[in-house]
Amino acid sequence: MKILLYTDLTVGPAELFWHRDLGLLTQAFRELGHEASLAIHPSDTGTDSSMPGSLGESVLWVSKQDVRDSSWWRRQNPDLVILGLWTRPKYDSVRRAVLRVTPNLIERADSDGMRTASCGLKPYARRRFDYCRDLTAGWSPLISPFVSFLYSATSVLATPWLEHRLARTLSLIPRLVVETPGAADLWHALSLHLRVSSCPIQQIAHPVQTSLFQFQPNDRKSNRVVAVGRWGSYQKNLPALLTALREFLRQFPDWEAEVVGAGLPDRSPIDRCQFTPAVPPHELAQCFRSSKILLFSSRYESFLLAGAEALTAGCSVLGPVSSVSTDYFRSFFADHPIPENASSLAGSLGLESKAWAMGRRDPAKISFHALREFSPIAVAQRFLAGMPAFASLS
């Protein structure tokens, strides 16, 4: 079967993201015996699909004009098309071009489902404010909050127009795939509100580079909490992370912490908490394999890839109760919801460290369940299983 995966990103040959969602899916489909290719825009206009190297037929270098032309898709003659276009209405011309050639279209949305004020006025307004604060993080601390407030208020007031455009877009998507159960619930509710019944919604996780991120029987885990992110980002909420770690490490002197990523200060202000610049994936995998808990403090996340990577490496994953990823990740290592006395990040850390001390966490078991959910082959099979015409090929 011929499968085409497309996303509107512009990269060079050395920048191809085989460790991310559509890249991992392309390789997984090929391992399953399908003719799968990733269509993407070249940063160098001289790049073409005949370029030699290890990429082979896995990559189609395509122009932004071509993907809006049904004749280009007809020449490719795909049996299935997977779009990574985030349900944004500005790509409706691409969707129409594909649908003129094949009805077998799936769109992947890396969204937590909080798309309009109909999903909840207060959380939506807060999400828009946080999003704009992230975009304007380098601005004056007086101007950024004011502009973000205006952006949030404008987004709320524009809800009828935004929902009209989104309803039109969803009518062009035969099948929508999101990454967490919480996001799927929000999307289902939103599609009912918009009266769009032609777009089935399915939850399929983001795949993980399990060749690296996988717990091994001889791995020894330390009493360590690790946090990973782009810490210059307002979204990642470094102040909340440091507050939680400071309180937790004060109460649990036999534990330590490591914060990994770009945008960190030169020195950590907390005893037994190490700051480490961004590291390559194989070093991050080793960090996860030797740690017990991954903590995230983000104001919002559509999925949190580091959380899935940590689970496959045998860690438990903790985050804010407001995140759609927190309960989802918790289901891989705990059979009960977040306790009421764990409403703070530090409280969650304290209870989870006791669970490890009492032997109620088995890293091999956590990794086993996570691999079944996040391995690229398993994710690719779920994409096919959701399409009746191709279910037998999964």
**What are 326-348's pLDDT values in tens digits?**
999 999 998 766 655 556 899 99
End-to-end CA distance of the chain: 11
Does 150 fall in a domain? yes
Q: Cα–Cα distance between 204 and 319 in angstroms, integer? A: 21
Q: Are residues 129 and 90 in the same domain?
A: no
**Cα separation, 240 vs 236, whole angstroms:** 9
Please give the DSSP secondary-structure letter assigned to residue 223: S
Quote the tokens at residue 232: 């210059």
d(Cα 57, Cα 13) in Å, to the nearest integer? 13
Question: What pLDDT is attached to residue 140?
Answer: 93
The answer as to whether 219 is a domain residue is no
SS (H, E, C) 321-339: CCCHHHHHHHCCCCCCCCC
Which DSSP category does 23 fall into?
H
Q: What is the pLDDT of residue 338?
A: 66
What sign does the dihedral 93-95-98-100 (CA atoms) show?
Answer: negative
> Is residue 30 scored above 50 in pLDDT?
yes
Query: What digits encode the pLDDT tens for the residues 224-250?
Result: 999 999 999 999 999 999 999 999 999
pLDDT for residue 394: 60
Burial class (CB in 10 A: 0-12, 13-18, 19+), 269: exposed
* 206 inside domain: no
**CATH number of the domain where residue 281 is located:** 3.40.50.2000
pTM value surpassing 0.85: yes
Q: Does any domain span residue 53?
A: yes
Quick one: 71 and 129 in the same domain? no
Same domain for 347 and 364: yes
104 and 241 both lie in a single domain? no
* Listed residue (111, 121, 143, 5) closest to 67, CA to CA: 5
Q: Are residues 144 and 27 in the same domain?
A: no
248, 354: one domain: yes
Percent of the chain at pLDDT exceeding 70: 93
Determine how many CB atoms are found less than 10 A away from the CB of residue 67: 23
Domain assignment present for residue 164? The answer is no
Are the C-beta atoms of 88 and 115 separated by less than 8 Å?
Answer: no
Domain co-membership, 138 together with 261: no
Residue 95 belongs to a domain with what CATH number?
A: 3.40.50
Alpha helix segments (H runs only) across 204-259: 238-251
Shared domain for 89 and 29, answered yes or no, is yes
Is there a single domain that holds both residue 230 and residue 292?
Answer: yes
For the CA atoms of 374, 378, 380, 385, what is the dihedral angle to 10 degrees? -130
Domain count, the chain: 3
The answer to whether residues 239 and 354 belong to one domain is yes
Q: Are residues 86 and 124 in the same domain?
A: no
Give the residues across from 274 on adjacent strands.
Answer: 258
| pLDDT on residue 198 | 77
Has residue 185 been placed in a domain? no
C-alpha to C-alpha distances, 80 to 2, 73, 174, 259, nearest whole angstrom: 7, 11, 12, 41
Q: Tell me: do 102 and 124 sit in the same domain.
A: no
pLDDT in tens, 134-187: 999 889 999 999 999 999 999 999 999 999 999 999 999 999 999 999 999 999
Integer-rounded Cα radius of gyration of the chain: 22
pLDDT in tens, 356-388: 999 999 999 999 999 999 999 999 999 999 777
Q: Find all residues with CB under 8 Å of 132, minimum gap 6, and list them.
A: 144, 147, 148, 151, 152
- Assess contact for 82 and 173: CB atoms under 8 A: no
Asked if the structure places residue 51 within a domain, the reply is yes
Q: Residue 347's closest CA among 380, 321, 368? A: 321
User: What is the crossing angle of helices 21-31 and 376-385, to 10°?
Assistant: 80
Give the residue numbers spanning the domain of 140.
Answer: 117-159
Beta-strand (E) ranges in 193-249?
201-203, 224-228
Q: Is residue 175 domain-resident?
A: no
Q: What is the pLDDT of residue 342?
A: 53
pLDDT at 45 over 60: no
Residue-level length of the chain: 394
Look-up: residue for tokens 């890839």? 305
> What gap in Å lies between CA 66 and CA 48, rounded to an integer?
13
Distance CA 128, CA 181 (A): 22
